[in-house]
Structure 1
Amino acid sequence: MALGDWTTATAALQASLRRLAASERRARALGHADLAALYLRRGHLEKSLRHWHAFLGDFPALCSDRANCRLDDMRKLLASYPSHPGAAALLRRTRGLAGPAFAAPPGGGFRRGGGR
């Protein structure tokens, strides 16, 4: 696969998602997030939204810094589409979900005193 080969990358990610077992939630969620970001960067908003919704379907069951980062990425990427009903609905769906700002610091537990 050549660097920047979008078509091959999306086909490989889709094939990978089809092969994942139902129990492989983290891999499936991250795959959907990666596909969603790829589609959005190519201007395919509707396809992107479908994959972001699939990502969010698995997200609550995960305890993963990578998933938290993908959630933060999704929020940043979709902030460019405030008037699109599908993007707005997806962002509403993320309310109350913890992203990196709320993740536990290394070593576990939450920091006291404003997160410093």
Structure 2
Amino acid sequence: MTRHWSPLAVVYLALAVCGLVGTWIFNALAVVQLRDFFGDWLGSGPAVSSLTVDLLVAAVAGSVFLIIEARRLGMRFGWLYVVASGVTAFAFTFPLFLAMRERRMRALAAQTHSDSIDPAP
């Protein structure tokens, strides 16, 4: 059996870890400081609101891509990445999905390659 962890998949996985750690540090600070988490998104000035809208639109577009791509590649539970982003962060789940997508594409390519070398009788 071949390994499906390509360098690109490892980069995506490293980005997922950075996204998880980075966002949870600030989430923990918000909790410790008793901040109004959702109020801070829109109430901390136009720059924060602009960034919020920017990231939310990108997350929605990424979620649509994620679900469609997971179905196209036959990846089970693609919707779970979208749900998990609500309790972790999209900065974690999207690169994680990309890493798993890369692995899936390499596995499919390896399967196609082995089928073309050794066709079934």
Fold in common (TM above 0.5):
no
Structure having the higher Rg: 2
The answer to which structure, 1 or 2, has the higher relative contact order (CA under 8 A, 6+ apart) is 2
Larger relative helix fraction: 2
**TM-score scaled by length of structure 1:** 0.30
**TM-score scaled by length of structure 2:** 0.29
